[in-house]
């Protein structure tokens, strides 16, 4: 927490706006829109809901295709199924871990060739790294396909001075408990297209017609953010800058301490981008070292230190078996490789120097032990 939450919540309670609407919701939307440099925003109950609304506004429906990054959390793609559409998964780039532009180019060319272009492309900015947006957007423009940015993990990250989430037709942020700022649960849909946002707002509030009585012509959702939670979000947004600073410092310290270990490859920032370093991630090059990344993770766990495996790619998930997948290069499945060789280190904004050094020490000891054993 930032420390100011109680004052904001107290204000919400005193004003008696205890509803999925109210002044804090409106302020929170304005403040986010201003911060990331877009025309407007709609505060909703989760990042997943925001993706769902974006797909609905684009009119993604049964029988449509939607392209989506494969190396991501399942929430990026679930809304494609909510709409009854068909996902197609796109591999990752080995440098950024984000959508491979060569795989995307292949997928779009093939889709155009058979006359079945996707209705949208969902690009994820994984772990805070911003994807190669100029290439991705120009590819999508070429085929007239709108881009939805899943920026759930990358609020505060920039690409050529522009904020992640502000470059596509829609951007999506999450304020789930694990994200860089949180409302305990919540999300935000942003866009430069006011009309599209109006439609999203209408759908998020049960698609009620502007009549005196309750009239509905289409199916809507109950997806608005509570005024109480928006109050929390506003005080969180005030410390976003410090959070990014803290997470980048955590990353820097890991690199200083562990960067020289043979085979350790920390995820790079693309040129002209600045990552919020939501999570410090690295992969272990198994051709340069004997030890395996899962040994590090298990040793950390044994020392009561939680480290996470990299997202299991969606094209490898049982629930998506049989779904079409475009690899980075022929016979080169990068996201699977990153899943097998990558790790997310503890990266909290409040990680103390002492705790971080304990983590570092634990990793160094694991490696020297593994060397002897080898």
Ligand X SMILES: *Cc1c(COP(=O)(O)O)cnc(C)c1O
Which residues lie near ligand X (CB under 6 A)?
A: 46-48, 72-73, 75-76, 124, 150, 152-153, 174, 176, 187
Q: Which of 39, 62, 179, 208 is an active site residue?
A: 179
Nearer to ligand X, 179 or 283 (CB): 179
Give CA angle at 188 (184, 189), nearest 5°: 160
Nearer to ligand X, 124 or 343 (CB): 124
Nearer to ligand X, 270 or 367 (CB): 270
Active site annotation includes 179: yes
CB 107 within 8 A of CB 47: no
265, 297, 305, 373 from 286: Cα distances, Å? 11, 15, 23, 16
CB 305 within 8 A of CB 358: yes
Q: Which residue has the tokens 């939607």?
A: 66
Looking at the chain, list the stretches that DSSP marks H as alpha helix, in order from N- to C-terminal side. 5-15, 23-36, 47-57, 78-82, 101-113, 133-143, 194-204, 227-237, 240-258, 293-302, 334-341, 353-373
Q: Quick one: how many helices (H) and strands (E) in the chain?
A: 12, 15
What is the rounded distance in angstroms from the CA atom of residue 226 to the CA atom of residue 44?
A: 8
Nearer to ligand X, 15 or 178 (CB): 178
Least distance CB 72 / ligand X (angstroms): 5
Nearer to ligand X, 292 or 308 (CB): 308
Least distance CB 2 / ligand X (angstroms): 19
Least distance CB 362 / ligand X (angstroms): 26
Mapped onto helix, strand or coil, the DSSP state of residue 334 is helix
Q: Which residues pair with 43 in a beta bridge?
A: 188
Q: Please list, in sequence order, all residues whose beta carbon lies within 8 angstroms of the beta carbon of residue 198, skipping any fewer than 6 positions away.
A: none
Q: Is the dihedral of CA 35, 36, 39, 40 positive or negative?
A: negative
Nearer to ligand X, 80 or 363 (CB): 80
Let me know if 51 is exposed, middle or buried by CB neighbors in 10 A (0-12, 13-18, 19+).
buried
Least distance CB 90 / ligand X (angstroms): 14
CB 356 within 8 A of CB 253: yes
Least distance CB 144 / ligand X (angstroms): 25
* Edge-to-edge order in the sheet of strand 308-309: 264-266, 280-284, 342-345, 308-309
What is the rounded distance in angstroms from the CA atom of residue 46 to the CA atom of residue 187?
A: 4
Least distance CB 175 / ligand X (angstroms): 7
Q: Which residues pair with 344 in a beta bridge?
A: 281, 308
Least distance CB 349 / ligand X (angstroms): 16
Catalytic residues: 179
């Amino acid at each position: 927490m930032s420390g100011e939450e109680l004052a904001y919540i107290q204000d919400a309670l005193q004003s008696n706006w205890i509803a999925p609407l109210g002044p804090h919701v409106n302020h929170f939307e304005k403040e986010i829109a201003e911060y990331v440099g877009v025309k407007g925003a709609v505060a909703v109950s989760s990042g997943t809901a925001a993706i769902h609304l974006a797909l609905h506004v684009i009119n993604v429906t049964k029988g449509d295709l939607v392209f989506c990054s494969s190396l991501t959390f399942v929430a990026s793609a679930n809304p494609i199924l909510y709409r009854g559409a068909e996902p197609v998964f796109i591999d990752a780039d080995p440098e950024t871990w984000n959508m491979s532009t060569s795989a995307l180019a292949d997928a779009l060319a093939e889709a155009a060739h058979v006359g079945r272009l996707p209705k949208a492309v969902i690009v994820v900015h994984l772990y805070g790294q911003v994807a190669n947006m100029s290439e991705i957007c120009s590819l999508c423009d070429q085929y007239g396909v709108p881009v939805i940015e899943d920026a759930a993990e990358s609020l505060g990250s920039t690409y050529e001075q522009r904020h992640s989430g502000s470059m596509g037709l829609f951007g999506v942020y999450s304020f789930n408990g694990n994200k860089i700022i949180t409302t305990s649960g919540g999300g935000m849909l942003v866009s430069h297209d006011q009309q599209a946002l109006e439609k999203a707002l209408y759908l998020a509030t049960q698609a009620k017609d502007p009549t005196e009585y309750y009239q509905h012509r289409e199916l809507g959702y109950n997806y608005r953010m509570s005024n109480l939670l928006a109050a929390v979000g506003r005080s969180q947004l005030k410390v976003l800058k410090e959070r990014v600073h803290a997470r980048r410092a955590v990353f820097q310290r890991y690199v200083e301490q562990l960067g020289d270990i043979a085979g350790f490859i920390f995820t790079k920032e693309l040129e002209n981008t600045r990552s919020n370093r939501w999570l410090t991630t690295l992969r272990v090059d198994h051709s340069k070292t004997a030890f395996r990344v899962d040994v590090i993770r298990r040793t950390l766990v044994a020392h009561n230190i939680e480290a996470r495996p990299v997202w299991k790619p969606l094209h490898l998930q049982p629930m998506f078996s049989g779904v079409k997948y475009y690899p980075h290069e022929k016979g080169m499945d990068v996201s699977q490789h990153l899943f097998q060789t990558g790790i997310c280190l503890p990266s909290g904004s409040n990680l103390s120097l002492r705790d971080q050094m304990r983590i570092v020490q634990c990793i160094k000891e694991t490696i020297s032990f593994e060397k002897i054993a080898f």
